[in-house]
Amino acid sequence: MRAEERDPTAPVTVVGIGADGWDGLSPAARRAVEEADVLRGSARQLGLVPDGVPAERVPWPSPLGPALADLPEAHPGRRVVVLASGDPMLSGVGASLVRMHGPAAVRVVPHPSSVSLACARLGWAVEETAVVTVVGRALELVTPHVTPGRRLLVLGSDGGTPAGVAALCARLGYGASRVTALAQLGGPAEHVLTGTAAGWPHGVVDPLVVTAVEAVADPGTVPLPTVPGLPDDAFEDDGQLTKREVRAVTLARLAPLPGQLLWDVGAGAGSIGIEWMRAHPSCRAVAVESHPDRAARIARNAARLGVPGLAVVRGRAPEALADLPAPDAVFVGGGATTPELLETCWAALPPGGRLVANAVTVESEAVLAGWFARVGGDLVRLAVQRAQPVGSYTGWKAAMPVTILSVVR
C-alpha cells in the first residue's frame, strides 16, 4: 500500500517482543512488523527484527517522553509500529502512549509479560503474587509489600535491582527471605540467580531481570500492616504525632480510596498522610508543614515506611494551600483556630469530599463545635488510657482527650 493511500488517522501499533525475539512473535505480531513503514524502539529491540524486514528503523532518543508525545505526528502517512518489551501495557510504552493519546490512537499486540514468565518459572499463581514496579521510581515502594509469607515480583530498570531489593529486605528485618533474579526470561540466555536477602552474593546482573521475593521475617521482626494504626514508634517524631488509637479512628473517617488525594494540613510527623498512602499504592497525599525540621522528618518517615511519593510542602496554611491540586479529603491535625483555615479546606473539597479535623484545646474544640452546628457531620471525643506501673501495681494513665469533627461535603 502506498503512503498516500494510508489513513493518516490510523492508530500506532505497539508490538510486544520478548527476549526470544522474532521466533517468539505470534503470526499477527510478525505481520504487523512486516507491514510497517517505520519501526520505533530501543536499539536492542530493533536488533531483534530480521534484516529482511524493510521498514525504516528509528531508535528512541533520550529522554523518551517528548518522542512519545510527538509520535502520532512524527511520521505522517506512514504505518508506525512501536516495539516494546513483553506486555506493552504492563509498566510499558503501550500504557504511556494510551495515557498520552487515548485508546483509539493505539493498537496493542501483546507478548507474554515478564510477570507471567516469572510466575511460570517459579510455579507461582499470578493472582496471588504482588507486582511492584520501580522503573524510574524509588526502591522503597517495595517496603509495604514485604510481610511474612508474601510473594512479590519487582520490576526494575537495571541490573542493580536484585541487590537493592535484597538489601532493602534485610534492613526491614526480612534477611531470611529467599530472593531470585530471573534474567533474559524466554530467551536463549535465560538464567536464574538465587540467594537470601541478608546473604545475597551477586552484584550487578543482566539488566533484563525480574526480582522475586518470598518474604520471611527474622526473629523479633514486627510486621507493619497496611491497615490504619501503625505503632507510634514506627515514626520518627518530636512529639507532634497523632497517636495510634486516634490515628486509626481519624483514618477510618477520612476513608482512603484508591487513586484519591489527601491534604494533611499541619502534618507534624506525617503519620496521617503516610498511612493514607499505605492503604493502596495509588493513594496520593500532600503533607503541609511550616516547620523545616518537621518537613524533613516527614520525608524520612515516608521513605522508610514505603511511600516516598508523599509530597511535602513547606509553608503555613491556609496560604500554602493555594496552588495545591484539589483534594478528595482533608485532615487538619492542628490549627483549627487559624483564621480561614477550615473555610479554605472546606471550599477546596468536591461533593463527596471528606473533612476531618482534630482538636485538643478548649479553643479549637469550640471552633469544631461551631462547624458541627453549621455543616453537620459527626463530632466525637476520644479518651484513651494506657496501663502503666504504679509502684508494684498497674494503673491507668489518661492521655489528653481528642475531639474529632468529620463531615462529608
Q: Is the pTM of this model over 0.75?
A: yes
Average pLDDT over residues 204-224: 96
235 neighbors 271 (Cβ within 8 angstroms): yes
Closest CA relative to residue 84, chosen from 48, 37, 50, 121: 48
DSSP 24-51: G--HHHHHHHHT-SEEEE-HHHHTTS-T
- For strand 209-214 and strand 191-196, is the pairing parallel, antiparallel, or unpaired? unpaired
Q: Which three cell numbers stand for residue 363?
A: 479553643
Query: Which amino acid makes up residue 89?
Result: M
What is the Cα–Cα distance from 212 to 199, expressed in whole angstroms? 15
Average pLDDT along the chain: 95
Task: Give me the sign of the Cα torsion angle 185, 209, 274, 222.
Answer: positive
Provide φ and ψ at 247, rounded to 5°.
-60, -40
What is the Cα–Cα distance from 251 to 228, expressed in whole angstroms? 6
Strand order in the sheet with 329-332: 311-314, 284-289, 261-265, 329-332, 354-359, 402-408, 378-382
Q: What is the pLDDT of residues 163-195, one digit of tens each?
A: 999 999 999 999 999 999 999 999 999 999 999
Task: Give me the sign of the Cα torsion angle 361, 367, 371, 374.
Answer: positive
What is the Cα–Cα distance from 7 to 10, expressed in whole angstroms? 5
Q: What is the pLDDT of residues 10-42, one digit of tens each?
A: 799 999 999 999 999 999 999 999 999 999 999
Q: What is the pLDDT of residues 344-371, one digit of tens each?
A: 999 999 999 999 999 999 999 999 999 9
> For residue 7, what pLDDT is reported?
53
- Domains within the chain, CATH numbers bracketed: 3-112 (3.40.1010.10), 115-214 (3.30.950.10), 232-408 (3.40.50.150)
